[in-house]
């Protein structure tokens, strides 16, 4: 047997292209819908912390010649409380918000700041084929909330090679964000005070690029490898986050002894992602692995598994499992020791700590008509970190410095296609 | 066109039948549920009729007729037609120009009716300028066929229909089934008994393992090229109906028929056709490609 024959492998590749693309594809292209409307509502709820209610609308126009235009409009209503960065201690802690409100954290509690905000965003995406083997995608993004505005644009080129078995993607984007902290811009690593800071608008810019290759390995198996790079610069600090100044022996905090956090004004982020979709008889198994690292010292691994279970012609169920772990940023601290020289940068934001997130969930899709589909998704996430780190001193050892966070995500959506 | 299907209960499967692409088509479905079998049969038949209507060279509103009447004017292609023509293009390149979907015009000269009527060389010479895939231009979404030339997807259309119908059925049911369009077929999935399907090949001269023209197939596509009944016989020389597009004459010393098993039906079809075009080297070619095959000489 000469399985390696050029004739056979080229014929197999050609057949693969003909049949892999055709399965479902020809039907969709020839009898597809011109307009698709999708409405959904998402509820994100952290146990005793932030809640986000997010209605969204996606409108897609398919011109039938490979050209599509899509608009996505999202509104977020955020309420609840988020950690200030201050550590739990053996006293009641009192804080004053930038807008002058006072709030307290009880003994042993991680101090939380209550907040309420709304955010609106719009994304426009346009796909246009340039030739049978080349297409381009252009996108625009705008969003606004009380103290933050973002504008962005992306451009991507996608080319098919090797009889459409291989697809190369090269893209780039730029974002220009404006931050106007409520109560002015605090000076990093200086004592938190109630003095009014100067009301200023700061900027943050992001430039990113990605390159990816998608390969149809068999008519049933598709694999993808992506690399992406993003460079951020500007005001990358979170103006409302603070750090407790603690007694290096007792671990206690003196009343009102906190400093504002300070992060570097540049960040280079990189990631490599491998993903694979395998079509079984009529189910699909999705596996992906992502490795991320940046020059702030954070490195993470993500494994994601999804299984599309086709329960009947009209119903599918998609169980989902995800595991995420990241190492802490170089400047992440649980608190700063009183009297010691200040570091160049420091943040006690738990999102920069040693963090593990486990997610389990499922999505169900029900075809309610030829072009109508109902979907519902529920996911449970648990974020946990180092509750009792080696750096904890004195009374800090008595409290959990990183209590696990339970998060529930629920989403329902309905899409309608018009021929 | 007759648009009827019949469904008959067999020992442990349903057999559905209908007519399409000039011959009998059969779907064997290993299920007890009549409704499931009926729905599967309708799905397969609808796909066979769709492809027949779209690519038949006999139907006046087919894409193929539209191309054949284009008189050298570029024709806009839908994505499915573009993919099929790309496939034909690749087969032409792979076979060094022997597999050529423009060679159908030779049928005007050759009638394989078992007689001894060999055409005059001058008739063939008049037709040869109308043959040659390299004279056509396949662009991104258009195709230009010089005036007077014709394309015929008969060499891959039926096999494509088998693979398409099988892929549609696979998306709706996990059970094992057979799609058999006039002897070109595909077997999918493992039967509950674990045994392979027994397929009857419509060729009395074929020597199969059991000597009864039945073969066992557990999975994959199967296609036959050549027809033991279509030939010309003159002065003791047997002329097969497989024509060399470069000379306009039948391929000499080709097997009467070649049957090949491959991953898909269309792959089996191309392998068997290219083998026939290799004439005396048909079996050598199939051996070297490492495929399961039967040839009749």
- Please tell me which residue of chain B has the smallest CA distance to A17: B83
Structure tokens at B201: 């090949």
Give the span between the Cα atoms of A147 and A349, in whole angstroms. Answer: 19
From chain B, pick out residues whose CB is under 8 angstroms from the CB of A5. Answer: 288-290
Structure tokens at A274: 């491998």
Dihedral Cα B13, B19, B20, B24, nearest 10 deg: 70
A367 min Cα distance to partner chain B (Å) = 14
Best CA proximity match to B188, nearest among A281, A311, A382, A248: A281
pLDDT at A195 over 70: no
Question: A361-393 burial string, b = 16+ CB within 10 Å, else e?
Answer: bbbebbeeeeeebebebbbebebebbeebeebb
Give the span between the Cα atoms of A292 and A295, in whole angstroms. Answer: 11
Q: Do B173 and A19 touch (CB under 8 A)?
A: no
Q: Do B288 and A281 touch (CB under 8 A)?
A: no
Chain B residues near any Cβ of chain A (below 8 Å): 78-80, 82-84, 86-87, 90-91, 94, 139-141, 160, 163-164, 167, 170-174, 189, 263-264, 266-267, 270-271, 274, 288-290
Computed over its alpha carbons, how large is the radius of gyration of chain A? Answer: 25
Confidence class of residue A194 from pLDDT cuts 50, 70 and 90? low
Task: Identify whether the C-beta of residue A416 lies closer than 8 Å to the C-beta of residue A37.
Answer: yes
Best CA proximity match to B267, nearest among A163, A18, A5, A218: A18
Q: State residue B176 phi and psi, 5-degree precision.
A: -75, 145
Predicted local distance difference test score (pLDDT) of residue A2 = 41
Q: State residue A116 phi and psi, 5-degree precision.
A: -150, 130
Q: Do B173 and A282 touch (CB under 8 A)?
A: yes
Q: Do A22 and B90 touch (CB under 8 A)?
A: no
Q: Do A2 and B174 touch (CB under 8 A)?
A: no
Confidence class of residue A297 from pLDDT cuts 50, 70 and 90? very high
Could you say which of B91, B172, B290 has the minimum Cβ distance to residue A1?
Answer: B290
Average pLDDT of chain B, as a whole number: 89
Number of H helices, E strands in chain B: 7, 15
| Each residue's pLDDT tens digit, A26-49 | 333 334 568 899 999 999 999 989
B117 min Cα distance to partner chain A (Å) = 36
Torsion sign across C-alpha atoms B239, B243, B247, B253:
negative
Best CA proximity match to B15, nearest among B178, B129, B153, B151: B178
pLDDT at A196 over 70: no
Q: Does A99 touch chain B (CB under 8 A)?
A: no
Best CA proximity match to B78, nearest among A342, A290, A22, A324: A22
pLDDT at A94 over 70: yes
CA atoms within 13 A on the CB side of A16: 19
- Please tell me which residue of chain A has the smallest CA distance to B83: A18
Give the span between the Cα atoms of A377 and B109, in whole angstroms. Answer: 65
B297 min Cα distance to partner chain A (Å) = 23
A134 min Cα distance to partner chain B (Å) = 10
- Please tell me which residue of chain A has the smallest CA distance to B265: A15
Q: Do B79 and A282 touch (CB under 8 A)?
A: no
pLDDT at A385 over 70: yes
Higher pLDDT, A229 or B208: A229
Helix (H) or strand (E) holding B66, with range, is helix B63-68
From chain B, pick out residues whose CB is under 8 angstroms from the CB of A133. Answer: 140
B140 min Cα distance to partner chain A (Å) = 5
Query: Based on the number of CB atoms within 10 Å of its own CB, is A405 exposed (0-12), middle (13-18) or buried (19 or more)?
Result: buried
A346 DSSP 8-state letter = B
CB atoms within 10 A of CB A201: 12
From chain A, pick out residues whose CB is under 8 angstroms from the CB of B171. Answer: 23-24, 282, 310
CA atoms within 13 A on the CB side of A383: 15
Best CA proximity match to A171, nearest among A183, A153, A185, A146: A153
Give the span between the Cα atoms of A378 and A412, in whole angstroms. Answer: 9
Helix (H) or strand (E) holding B127, with range, is helix B121-127
Confidence class of residue B2 from pLDDT cuts 50, 70 and 90? low
Predicted local distance difference test score (pLDDT) of residue A418 = 85
Q: Do B290 and A5 touch (CB under 8 A)?
A: yes
The residues pairing with A93 across neighbouring beta strands, listed in sequence order, are A105
B108 min Cα distance to partner chain A (Å) = 30
Q: Do B141 and A21 touch (CB under 8 A)?
A: no
Predicted local distance difference test score (pLDDT) of residue A217 = 84
Predicted local distance difference test score (pLDDT) of residue B208 = 63
pLDDT at A223 over 60: yes
Give the span between the Cα atoms of A175 and A269, in whole angstroms. Answer: 15
ipTM for the predicted complex comes to 0.91
Predicted local distance difference test score (pLDDT) of residue A102 = 81
Task: Look at strands A336-337 and A242-246 and give their pairing.
Answer: parallel
Task: Look at strands A315-326 and A299-310 and give their pairing.
Answer: antiparallel
pLDDT at A19 over 90: no
Best CA proximity match to B158, nearest among B48, B71, B59, B63: B48
Query: Based on the number of CB atoms within 10 Å of its own CB, is A99 exposed (0-12), middle (13-18) or buried (19 or more)?
Result: exposed
Q: How many residues does chain B have?
A: 297
- Please tell me which residue of chain A has the smallest CA distance to B85: A18
Kindly state the average pLDDT of the residues A359-378: 92
Q: Which range is least confidently modeled, A65-74, B107-116, B249-258? A: B107-116
Q: Does A3 touch chain B (CB under 8 A)?
A: yes
Helix (H) or strand (E) holding B262, with range, is strand B257-262
| Each residue's pLDDT tens digit, B40-62 | 999 999 999 999 999 988 888 89
Predicted local distance difference test score (pLDDT) of residue A3 = 44
Average pLDDT of chain A, as a whole number: 89
Task: Identify whether the C-beta of residue A244 lies closer than 8 Å to the C-beta of residue A204.
Answer: no
Query: Based on the number of CB atoms within 10 Å of its own CB, is A246 exposed (0-12), middle (13-18) or buried (19 or more)?
Result: buried
Could you say which of B94, B173, B174 has the minimum Cβ distance to residue A11?
Answer: B94
The secondary structure of A32-101 as a DSSP string is --SEEEEEEEEEEEETTS-EEEEEEEEEEEE-SSS-EEEEEEEEEEEEEEEE-SPPP-SS-EEEE-TTS-
Q: Do A3 and B164 touch (CB under 8 A)?
A: no
Best CA proximity match to B179, nearest among B10, B2, B24, B67: B24
Predicted local distance difference test score (pLDDT) of residue B11 = 82
Higher pLDDT, A1 or A214: A214
Query: CATH: 1.20.120.530, 2.40.160.40, 3.90.550.10, 3.90.1010.10. Which one for A32-418?
Result: 2.40.160.40
Q: State residue A327 phi and psi, 5-degree precision.
A: -90, 160
Predicted local distance difference test score (pLDDT) of residue A279 = 81
Predicted local distance difference test score (pLDDT) of residue A371 = 80
A with B: how many residue pairs have Cβ under 8 Å apart? 82
Best CA proximity match to B58, nearest among B145, B196, B127, B153: B153
Give the span between the Cα atoms of B272 and B165, in whole angstroms. Answer: 21
| Each residue's pLDDT tens digit, B153-178 | 988 999 999 999 999 998 877 789 99
Computed over its alpha carbons, how large is the radius of gyration of chain B? Answer: 20
Give the span between the Cα atoms of B70 and B150, in whole angstroms. Answer: 10
Could you say which of B79, B170, B270 has the minimum Cβ distance to residue A282?
Answer: B170
Which ranges in A248-294 belong to alpha helices (H)? none
- Find the farthest-apart pair of alpha carbons in chain B and give their distance in angstroms, rounded: 60
From chain A, pick out residues whose CB is under 8 angstroms from the CB of B84. Answer: 18
B163 DSSP 8-state letter = H
From chain B, pick out residues whose CB is under 8 angstroms from the CB of A128. Answer: none
pTM over 0.80: no
Give the span between the Cα atoms of A271 and A358, in whole angstroms. Answer: 20
Q: Does A312 touch chain B (CB under 8 A)?
A: no
* Residue from B96, B262, B263 to probe the interface with A (highest A Cβ count within 10 Å): B263
What percent of chain B is modeled with pLDDT above 90?
Answer: 58
Confidence class of residue A176 from pLDDT cuts 50, 70 and 90? very high
Q: For chain A, which residues make up each domain, given as ranges? A: 32-418
Predicted local distance difference test score (pLDDT) of residue B204 = 56
Higher pLDDT, A299 or B199: A299
Give the span between the Cα atoms of A342 and A348, in whole angstroms. Answer: 14
Strands, DSSP E only, in A220-349? 221-234, 242-246, 253-260, 266-279, 284-294, 299-310, 315-326, 336-337
Best CA proximity match to A318, nearest among A284, A342, A279, A345: A284
């Amino acid at each position: 047997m000469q399985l390696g024959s050029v004739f056979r492998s080229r014929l197999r590749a050609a057949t693969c292209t003909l049949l892999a693309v055709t399965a479902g594809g020809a039907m969709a292209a020839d009898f597809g819908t011109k307009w698709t409307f999708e409405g959904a509502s998402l509820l994100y709820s952290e146990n005793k912390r932030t809640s986000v209610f997010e209605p969204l609308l996606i409108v897609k126009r398919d011109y039938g010649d490979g050209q599509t235009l899509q608009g996505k409009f999202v509104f977020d209503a955020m309420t609840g409380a988020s950690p200030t960065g201050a550590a739990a201690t053996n006293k009641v802690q009192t804080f004053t918000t930038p807008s002058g409100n006072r709030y307290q954290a009880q003994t042993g509690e991680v101090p939380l700041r209550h907040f309420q905000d709304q955010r609106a965003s719009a994304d426009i995406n346009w796909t246009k084929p340039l030739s049978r083997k080349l297409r381009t995608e252009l996108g625009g993004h705008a969003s606004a909330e009380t103290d933050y505005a973002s504008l962005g644009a992306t451009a991507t080129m996608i080319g098919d090679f090797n009889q459409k078995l291989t697809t190369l993607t090269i893209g780039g984007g730029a974002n220009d964000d404006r931050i106007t902290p409520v109560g002015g811009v605090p000076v990093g690593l200086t004592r938190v005070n109630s003095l009014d800071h100067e009301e200023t608008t700061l900027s943050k810019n992001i430039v990113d690029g990605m390159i990816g290759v998608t390969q149809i390995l068999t008519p049933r198996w598709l694999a993808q490898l992506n690399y992406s790079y993003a460079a951020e610069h500007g005001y990358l600090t979170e103006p409302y986050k603070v750090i407790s100044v603690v007694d290096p022996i007792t671990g206690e905090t003196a009343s009102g002894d906190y400093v504002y956090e300070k992060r570097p004004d540049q960040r280079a982020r990189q990631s490599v992602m491998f993903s694979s979709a395998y079509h079984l008889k009529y189910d699909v198994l999705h596996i992906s692995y992502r490795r991320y690292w940046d020059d702030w010292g954070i490195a993470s691994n993500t494994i994601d598994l999804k299984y599309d279970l086709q329960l009947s012609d009209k119903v599918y169920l998609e169980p989902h499992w995800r595991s995420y772990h990241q190492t802490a940023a170089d400047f992440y601290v649980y608190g700063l020791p009183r009297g010691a020289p200040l570091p160049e940068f420091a943040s006690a934001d738990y999102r920069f700590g040693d963090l593990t997130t486990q997610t389990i969930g499922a999505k169900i899709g029900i075809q309610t008509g030829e072009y109508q589909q109902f979907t519902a998704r529920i996911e449970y996430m648990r974020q946990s970190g180092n509750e009792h780190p080696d750096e904890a001193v004195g009374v800090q050892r008595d409290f959990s410095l990183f209590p696990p966070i339970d998060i529930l995500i629920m989403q329902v959506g309905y899409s309608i296609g018009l021929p | 066109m007759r648009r009827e299907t019949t469904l008959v209960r067999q020992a442990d499967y349903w057999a559905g039948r209908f007519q399409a692409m000039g011959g009998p088509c059969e779907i064997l479905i290993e299920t007890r549920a009549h409704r499931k079998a009926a729905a599967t049969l309708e799905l397969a038949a609808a796909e066979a009729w769709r492809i027949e209507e779209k690519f038949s060279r006999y139907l006046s509103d087919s894409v193929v007729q539209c191309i054949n009447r284009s008189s050298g004017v570029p024709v806009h292609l839908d994505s499915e037609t573009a993919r099929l023509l790309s496939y034909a293009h690749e087969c032409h390149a792979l076979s060094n120009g022997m597999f050529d979907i423009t060679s159908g015009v030779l049928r005007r000269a050759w009638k394989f009716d078992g007689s001894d009527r060999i055409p005059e060389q001058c008739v063939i010479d008049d037709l040869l300028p109308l043959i040659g895939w390299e004279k056509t231009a396949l662009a991104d979404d258009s195709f230009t066929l010089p005036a007077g030339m014709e394309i015929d997807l008969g060499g891959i259309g039926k096999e494509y229909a088998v693979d398409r119908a099988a892929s549609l059925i696979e998306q709706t049911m996990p059970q094992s089934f057979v799609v058999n369009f006039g002897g070109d077929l595909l077997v999918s999935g493992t039967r509950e008994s674990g045994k392979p399907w027994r397929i009857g090949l419509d060729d009395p001269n074929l020597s199969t393992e059991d000597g009864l023209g039945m073969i066992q197939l557990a999975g994959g596509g199967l296609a036959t090229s050549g027809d033991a009944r279509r030939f010309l016989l003159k002065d003791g020389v047997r002329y097969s109906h497989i024509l060399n597009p470069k000379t306009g004459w039948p391929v000499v010393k080709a097997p009467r028929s070649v049957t090949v098993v491959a991953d898909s039906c269309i792959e089996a079809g191309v392998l068997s056709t290219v083998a026939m075009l290799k004439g005396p080297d048909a079996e050598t070619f199939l051996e070297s490609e490492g495929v399961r095959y039967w040839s009749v000489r």
